[in-house]
Structure 1
């Protein structure tokens, strides 16, 4: 079968033992399209549309890519079949809808919508059906559906974004963090021991990971530019993230899970919203 898909590659020249392909958004002449890049800098364009496509995440089986797009109106959630190249619009509210993430079995998607007035977390099937609001509070964002079956997201509590956790039906909501500094885009590690996020505890946006058992946070980056939107590799050994000023210098970086060997994958322009591709046999 012919697939429009990204594969895992191993190269002798790689700094890291495993050379993962990265999906990301690249802006050229104010037009955003989805691309992939490997550790050696080989670039491939995945979407090509005059309206903006952004924030790609591949399904666990490697057959689909969910993303946000302005193909029809403000940001909405779309699905791309990576084998056929066909596209399907999944949401169509009057508000912006964004930040999609797959359930571990690939049958559902969690995302953010303001369709009821505030920024809330919703789930739906991967066909866009059975849309359900699972959060309350009007300031909830950046969800991820973890391998333990729970959904993690950032929620504003007394003016500070803290990490929350809930079951997929919205029950058993738990607040995992307290204290100063926003904690954004929580991502549970594959071994379910660490929580990755970015925040401004030390003034600038940096990448952190928190040990769930102890609650101890470890700072992974320290750069004058903003380090944001970090994600784990499928095996938990690497982290991809953005570094830049969110204007004309926003680059995709890769580093080890301990924060060492930070390496730029892109070197010019505005590049954002990276995620790891999954292996397809």
Structure 2
């Protein structure tokens, strides 16, 4: 049973936010740090999207599918400008075009389900995504587009124009793209010799650096509010732990240090 917690960057003040008989996961903070959006099955068989206060109170279901609905909505991510939530959904599956059940979609916070719409131009197996700093562009990994197969490259989707473009083509399987708040750096995980390392791409210099370079699985990066540090999950201690590292690769430290599995870290926008 997965639950949501918050913790200080120094590893102190671990606080539980959710407590249910079902799993709550894939949390994302609102840009002002007041709310958390996440997925849960607490109201039935399907995964729905919820918003709660940053202290875990007053949880609201944004989707409200019937309890016996077979449709799942999951992995929500709040846009940097606070206007939209991007997520994966099963409700637009096309068996002719799609090689996976889910599609990337967006919904307006103010308009709710009336604004729910999928990426329509290049359906396919869209895995792991992150917002660009402009709040209009979503960067995502695709292992196929329609029935064409690709090797885990990054694509961009403009939610206003619905235009999709290929962003990378280097042969590495990549995932979990997340842009720094200032729009300069792209952190992501990429497969190197059988394991994932964390990389940082500098859009100003064009340089890409392997940040972790370790024979373990390093994944799920998230930027600190000032873009100086990255929090991520790693199994280098024998189980999944939450680590923080400086943007230059220095001062690596374990902040969770617990025998349980800890993963999917996301940094609050409020320092």
Which range, TM-score by smaller chain? 0.7 to 0.9
**1:198 counterpart residue number:** 189
Q: How does 1:80-119 map to 2 (within 5 A)?
A: 80-82=52-54, 85-91=57-63, 92=65, 94-117=70-93, 118-119=101-102
- Correspondence for 1:258: 248
How far the C-alpha of 1:219 sits from its partner, in A, is: 0.5
**Aligned-partner Cα distance in 2 for 1:237–1:272:** 21
CA distance in 2, matches of 1:41, 1:195: 28
Q: How many residues align?
A: 249
**Shift in CA distance, 40/270, structure 1 to aligned 2, threshold 3 Å:** closer
CA-CA distance at 1:215 after TM superposition: 4.3
Q: Displacement of 1:96 after TM fit?
A: 3.0
With over 3 angstroms needed to count, the CA separation of the structure-2 counterparts of 1:221 and 1:52, relative to structure 1, is same
Structure 1 residues 111 and 81 mapped into 2: Cα distance closer, same or farther (>3 Å)? Answer: same
Q: Which moved more, 1:250-259 or 1:72-81?
A: 72-81
Query: Pick from 117, 125, 129: which aligns with 1:132?
Result: 117
Offset at residue 241 of structure 1 (A): 0.3
- The corresponding residue for 2:264 is 273
> Which residues in structure 2 correspond to 1:165-180 (within 5 Å)?
165-169=156-160, 171-180=162-171
2:5 paired residue among 35, 38, 47: 35
Instruction: State how far apart, in whole Å, the 2-side matches of 1:260 and 1:132 are.
Output: 42
TM-score by length of 2: 0.84
Structure 2: tracts of 5 or more residues without a match: 94-100
Instruction: After TM superposition, give the deviation of residue 251 of structure 1 in Å.
Output: 0.6
Q: Deviations over 1:229-280 (max 9, x none)?
A: 111112100100000189x811111110122211111112101110011228
User: Once the 2 structures are TM-superposed, how far is the Cα of residue 107 of structure 1 from its aligned partner?
Assistant: 2.3
RMSD: 2.3
Task: With a CA cutoff of 8 Å and minimum separation of 6, indicate the structure with the bigger relative contact order.
Answer: 1
Question: SS in structure 1 opposite 2:124?
Answer: coil
Q: CA deviation at 1:214?
A: 5.3
Alignment partner of 1:116: what SS? coil
Q: Deviations over 1:31-82 (max 9, x none)?
A: 2111011114321111111111112111112221101112132432211134
What's the TM-score once normalised by structure 1's chain length?
0.81
Which residue number in structure 2 is paired with residue 141 of structure 1?
127
1:99·1:143 contact (CA, 8 Å) conserved in 2? no
Aligned to 1:67: 38
Q: Which residue number corresponds to residue 241 of structure 1?
A: 232
Query: How far apart, in 2, do the equivalents of 1:258 and 1:73 lie?
Result: 44
Deviation per CA, 1:79-127, whole angstroms, max 9, x where unpaired? 1134782112223363332221112221210011122223311001226
Question: What is the CA distance between 1:148 and its match in structure 2?
Answer: 1.6
Does structure 1 conserve the Cα–Cα contact (< 8 Å) formed by 2:17 and 2:56? Answer: no
